[in-house]
């Protein structure tokens, strides 16, 4: 049994949904179909999820949301008409979204989640109706009925272990099941969404639950590329990569697959195949436990910006028991999570996402670090980008750091920080955000211009 997830780009129009139908019916193993909400039809288009967010925000502020609401209904209506479905389904969708928008607002984050989930939920109902119209035995399944239970963390749900046993029972259901992605239910019965792009997580969780043989993730590119195609034109395709490599790359900026979506599939040993809805016969990229190391040290280079570092130095920091704990406690008390923590003998840098550190908070934190830890220097550096070099081959290749730093130096790019991940499959360079693209380009040139992967 295969679990097949289709992303927003694969559900954006009726023509795309016809492709989905062809793909599903071309393989009898494709039994459970996880769908996102209709995504962008063209680069400047707005995803249905973003329109729902706008509606919910306006509604929370007591403002008129009819313009955005009509845009949403228009999207569903065009799809339904294009697929030859009756007007009834659009009317039902309209009523359902209106009902959700007029529900209780006493818990805004919970309200937002319930409205956002309408995107996937209605898309699943629509796809199921279309499959039925085509005389396929297919039905919509609600995540609560299926047993997808999650933590009560609005916008950041995590699956509860008890879901897996319940999801296994889906194997007994006949016909094709259309499962809405992106949300589950808390034990109290509330709708809770995963983080953005979280339908990938639903697919992985369901694949684990039913012990699928394969998790196919259909998107709009032929493969996972070794670098973001927005930075390098026509980059090399990755045929096969390990779970660890994909986790590092998606965390660091490859938004083709959600970084939290690997663990459930990995735990059940289920391979993931990223494929293209617009070119389904292309083999795509396979994410597996182990791969043969035929290429050079790297499989991919990812990058992301919007980081800052808090640099702290204090003579004999290495001998001071509890220094790190006290430092992290200051962050914890300010509800700040950190991403990396490169350190030396007398100094340490804490890398955090910049949006967690408004300027007022920065001053307070600097003062506390000076006062409570008696630090010699505390410096906050903003607007950093992190360039992540990833590859299982790094463990067996000497000189990777030297090659990357030489490429950066030749391009006149200053390295703000280097961090070798303890997993030994990644290495991170911190550069100024304005150097991000150039840094990725020169490192790509150094490692990929002649290699075969």
Ligand X SMILES: N[C@@H](CC(=O)OP(=O)(O)O)C(=O)O
Ligand Y SMILES: Nc1ncnc2c1ncn2[C@@H]1O[C@H](COP(=O)(O)OP(=O)(O)O)[C@@H](O)[C@H]1O
Q: Is 275 in the site for ligand X (CB under 6 A)?
A: no
Residue closer to ligand Y by CB (options 254, 266) is 254
Q: How many CB atoms lie within 10 A of CB 292?
A: 7
Contact 424, 215 (CB under 8 A): no
Q: Is 196 in the site for ligand X (CB under 6 A)?
A: yes
The least distance separating ligand X from the CB of residue 280, rounded to whole angstroms, comes to 17
Work out what residue 229 binds among ligand X, ligand Y, none; the CB cut-off runs from 5 to 8 Å by kind.
ligand Y
Alpha helix segments (H runs only) across 11-107 = 14-25, 48-60, 66-82, 87-101
Q: Record the tokens describing residue 14, joined without a space.
A: 């009726």
Work out what residue 198 binds among ligand Y, ligand X, none; the CB cut-off runs from 5 to 8 Å by kind.
ligand X
Work out what residue 228 binds among ligand Y, ligand X, none; the CB cut-off runs from 5 to 8 Å by kind.
ligand Y
CA 167, CA 208: separation in Å to the nearest integer?
9
Work out what residue 181 binds among ligand Y, ligand X, none; the CB cut-off runs from 5 to 8 Å by kind.
ligand X
Q: Is 448 in the site for ligand Y (CB under 6 A)?
A: no
Contact 336, 352 (CB under 8 A): yes
CA 184, CA 162: separation in Å to the nearest integer?
13
Residue found by looking up tokens 């139908």 in the block = 21
CB neighbour list of residue 451: distance below 8 Å, 6 or more residues apart: 236, 295, 296
Residue closer to ligand Y by CB (options 18, 346) is 18
What x-and-dash track marks residues 139-178 binding ligand X by CB under 6 A?
----------------------------------------
Contact 110, 26 (CB under 8 A): no
Q: Is 7 in the site for ligand Y (CB under 6 A)?
A: yes
Of 17-25, 36-44, 164-172, 437-445, the window that binds ligand X (rule: CB under 6 A) is 36-44
Say how many residues touch ligand X, by CB under 6 A: 15
Q: Is 36 in the site for ligand X (CB under 6 A)?
A: yes
Q: With b meaning 16 or more CB within 10 Å and e meaning fewer, what string describes 10-30?
A: bbbbbebbebbbebbeeeeeb
Say how many residues touch ligand Y, by CB under 6 A: 19
Alpha helix segments (H runs only) across 179-261 = 199-210, 243-251
Of 132-140, 193-201, 320-328, 390-398, the window that binds ligand X (rule: CB under 6 A) is 193-201
Find the helix packing angle between 66-82 and 14-25, rounded to 10°: 50
CB neighbour list of residue 318: distance below 8 Å, 6 or more residues apart: 345, 346
Residue closer to ligand Y by CB (options 20, 210) is 20
Residue closer to ligand X by CB (options 201, 431) is 201
Q: Please pick, from the candidates 2, 4, 7, 272, the single residue that binds ligand X as defined by CB under 6 A.
A: 7
Of 33-41, 298-306, 331-339, 393-401, the window that binds ligand X (rule: CB under 6 A) is 33-41
What x-and-dash track marks residues 43-72 binding ligand X by CB under 6 A?
----x-x-----------------------
What x-and-dash track marks residues 197-236 binding ligand Y by CB under 6 A?
x---------------------xxx--xx-xxxx------
Contact 177, 141 (CB under 8 A): yes
The least distance separating ligand X from the CB of residue 204, rounded to whole angstroms, comes to 12
Of residues 135-154, which lie at the interface with ligand Y (CB under 6 A)?
Answer: none
Q: Is 198 in the site for ligand X (CB under 6 A)?
A: yes
3-state secondary structure (DSSP) of residue 168: helix
Q: Please pick, from the candidates 37, 157, 223, 252, the single residue that binds ligand X as defined by CB under 6 A.
A: 37
Residue closer to ligand Y by CB (options 260, 416) is 260
CA 351, CA 235: separation in Å to the nearest integer?
29
3-state secondary structure (DSSP) of residue 179: strand
CA 16, CA 9: separation in Å to the nearest integer?
8
Work out what residue 182 binds among ligand Y, ligand X, none; the CB cut-off runs from 5 to 8 Å by kind.
ligand X
3-state secondary structure (DSSP) of residue 286: strand
Work out what residue 119 binds among ligand Y, ligand X, none; the CB cut-off runs from 5 to 8 Å by kind.
ligand X
Residue found by looking up tokens 């179909």 in the block = 33
The least distance separating ligand X from the CB of residue 287, rounded to whole angstroms, comes to 17
Q: Is 39 in the site for ligand Y (CB under 6 A)?
A: yes
3-state secondary structure (DSSP) of residue 288: strand
- CA dihedral sign of residues 83, 88, 89, 90: positive
Residue closer to ligand X by CB (options 8, 296) is 8
Identify the CA nearest to 16 among candidates 220, 179, 176.
220
Q: What are phi and psi of 408, to 5 degrees?
A: -70, -45
CB neighbour list of residue 316: distance below 8 Å, 6 or more residues apart: 346
Work out what residue 221 binds among ligand Y, ligand X, none; the CB cut-off runs from 5 to 8 Å by kind.
ligand Y
Point out which residues bind ligand Y (CB under 6 A).
Answer: 7-10, 36, 39, 197, 219-221, 224-225, 227-230, 254-256
Point out which residues bind ligand X (CB under 6 A).
Answer: 7-8, 36-37, 39, 47, 49, 119, 181-182, 196-200
């Amino acid at each position: 049994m295969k679990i097949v997830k289709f992303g927003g780009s694969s559900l954006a129009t009726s023509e795309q949904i016809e492709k989905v139908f062809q793909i599903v019916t071309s393989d009898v193993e494709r039994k459970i179909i996880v769908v996102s909400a209709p995504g962008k039809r063209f680069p400047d288009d707005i995803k249905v999820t973003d329109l729902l967010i706008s509606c919910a925000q306006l509604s929370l502020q007591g403002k008129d949301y009819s313009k955005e609401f009509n845009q949403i209904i228009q999207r569903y209506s065009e799809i339904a008409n294009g697929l030859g479905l009756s007007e009834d389904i659009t009317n039902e969708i309209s009523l359902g979204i209106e009902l959700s928008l007029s529900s209780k607002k006493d818990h805004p984050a919970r309200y937002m989640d319930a409205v956002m989930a309408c995107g996937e939920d209605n898309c699943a109902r629509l796809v199921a109706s279309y499959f039925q119209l085509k005389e396929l035995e297919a039905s919509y399944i609600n995540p609560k009925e299926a047993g997808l239970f999650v933590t009560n963390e609005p916008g950041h749900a995590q699956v509860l272990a008890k879901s897996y046993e319940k999801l296994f029972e889906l194997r007994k259901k006949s016909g094709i099941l259309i499962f809405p992605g992106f949300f589950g239910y808390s034990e109290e019965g509330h709708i809770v969404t995963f983080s953005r792009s979280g339908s990938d997580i639903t697919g992985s969780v369901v694949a684990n639950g039913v012990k699928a043989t394969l998790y196919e993730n259909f998107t709009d590119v032929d493969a996972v590329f070794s670098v973001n195609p927005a930075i390098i034109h026509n980059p090399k395709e990755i045929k096969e990569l390990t779970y660890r490599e994909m986790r590092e790359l998606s965390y660091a900026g490859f938004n083709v697959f959600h970084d939290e979506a690997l663990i459930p599939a990995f735990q059940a040993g289920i391979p993931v195949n990223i494929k293209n809805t617009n070119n389904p016969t292309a083999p795509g990229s396979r994410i597996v436990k182990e791969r043969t190391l035929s290429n050079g040290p790297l499989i991919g280079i990812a990058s992301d910006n919007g980081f800052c570092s808090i640099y702290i130095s204090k003579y004999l920091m290495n001998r001071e028991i509890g220094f790190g704990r006290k430092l992290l406690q200051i962050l914890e008390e300010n509800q700040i999570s950190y991403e990396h923590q490169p350190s030396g003998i007398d100094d340490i840098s804490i890398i955090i996402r910049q949006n967690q550190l408004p300027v007022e908070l920065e001053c307070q934190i600097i003062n506390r670090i000076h006062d409570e830890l008696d630090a010699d220097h505390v410096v906050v550096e903003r607007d950093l980008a992190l360039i992540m070099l990833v590859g299982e081959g790094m463990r067996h290749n000497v000189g990777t750091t030297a090659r990357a730093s030489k490429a950066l130096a030749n391009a006149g790019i200053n390295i703000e920080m280097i961090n070798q991940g303890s997993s030994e499959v990644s290495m991170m360079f911190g550069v100024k955000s304005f150097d991000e693209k150039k840094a990725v380009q020169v490192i790509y040139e150094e490692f990929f211009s002649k290699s075969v992967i």
